[in-house]
Amino acid sequence: VISMLTARRAGVVPASRGHHAHVLGPTLAPMRMAERMASKRRRDISAPSQGQGGSKAAVGAVADWVEDNLGTRVVREAFIGGSGWSSQYGYTCEDGRKLFVKTSLGRDVSMFEGEALGLRAMEATGTLKIPHVYHYGVLPTNSPGRGGCFIVMEHLELGGGGDDAALGRQLALMHLAAPTQPEAAAGRFGFPVDNTIGGTPQPNGWHDDWVTFFRERRLAHMLRLAGDTRLNKLGEQLLPRIGELFKGIDVRPSVLHGDLWSGNVGWAGGQPTIYDPATYYGHHEAEFGMAWCAGFSGRFWAAYRELIPDAPGAAQRRELYQLYHYLNHYVLFGGGYYGSCVNIMERLIAHLNK
C-alpha cells in the first residue's frame, strides 16, 4: 500500500484518494464487441497516464472490466496522481457512480490483494467509513513479461473540518470489534496475506504470541532490511527483552489499519474515514506507531481513551511501536531517520536496565 508520505517524498502527491475491499463473485454478461468499441470511443481521458504504474492500455482495460461487471459505461477517466509503485485515476460512470482506480505495471496481484483484504477487514467492523472495493485482479497485457494488476474501489469525496472526537471513538470501536478472521478470532496475530508498509514488504504469518510476532515479523524483519551494524547490535540487546514491556498486559488481536497517519485519514460526508492500509491483527496500541506524523488532537485521544484507557507501561510500548515505523522510514528514505532509530533503541534499553 502506498502511503501519502511515500508519494510526497517521491515528489508526487495524489489530489484525491479512495479505497476498499471486496471481490465480486458472479460477473455480468460481457457487452457485445460493437457496444464496447462504441463505449471506448465515448470515453474522455482527461489527462495522460503517468508514473510507473499506469498506461493508456491499462486504463482502458480497467474501464472494460467496469463495463463488463458493474453494468455501466465509463464516460470519463482522469489521472489523479502516482508514485513509483502505482498510478491512480478517477473514473466517472454513465450512471453517476465515481470510482477510484489504481494500476501497477510489472507487479503481480499481491500488490493490491493485501490492500483489498485489509480494507475488507476494517469495513466488516461497521465502524469507520471505509471505501468499498469492487475488485482487484490481473491486468491483461500485450507485453510479454510486463504484466500488472489493478484495483477498483469507491471514490470518496474527502473534505475537512471533521470531528476528531468521532474519529477517536470510531477507531476505538474498530479496535474493540470481534475479529472476522478465524485465526484472529482464536487469539492469533497476523493476517491471511503479507502486504506492504509504504514500499516495504510486511510479513504477516500467524503467531500465537504477540511479543514473538512483533519481535520477529516487525522489528527483526526491519533490522535485516536496514542491514546496519550499529542498529543490529542495539537490536541484539533490545529484542530479547521486549517481553518485559508487556508484563501484566493482556494483548488481544484487534484489526489495525497499520499505517495510520494524517495522510491516510479524512472525512467523507461528515464521517471519519481511513484508507491506504497495511492491515493486520495486532495489539491496539501498535496502531499509533505513526502518531508522530498524525497530529491527533486532545479531543481524539479523550474519545479513544474513554473506550480504551491506557494500560500501565503504555509510554514505553509507544516508543517500541514507533521504532518499527522509524526503521521502515530509514529503510525507505535513508539517513534522516537513523538518529531517531538509535535514540529510541538506546532509551528502551536504558529503561529495561533500570
Q: How far is CA 50 from the centre of its chain?
A: 22
Which residue do the cell numbers 471505509 mark?
A: 130
**Among the options 68, 95, 208, 259, which is catalytic?**
259
Distance CA 93, CA 90 (A): 10
Number of C-alpha atoms within 13 angstroms, CB side, residue 91? 30
- For the chain, the farthest-separated pair of C-alpha atoms sits apart, in whole angstroms, at 76
Tell me, yes or no, if 259 is annotated catalytic: yes
Number of residues that make up the chain: 354
How do 133-138 and 87-93 pair as beta strands?
unpaired
Q: Decide: 226 and 250 in contact? Cβ < 8 Å.
A: no
Residues identified as active-site:
259
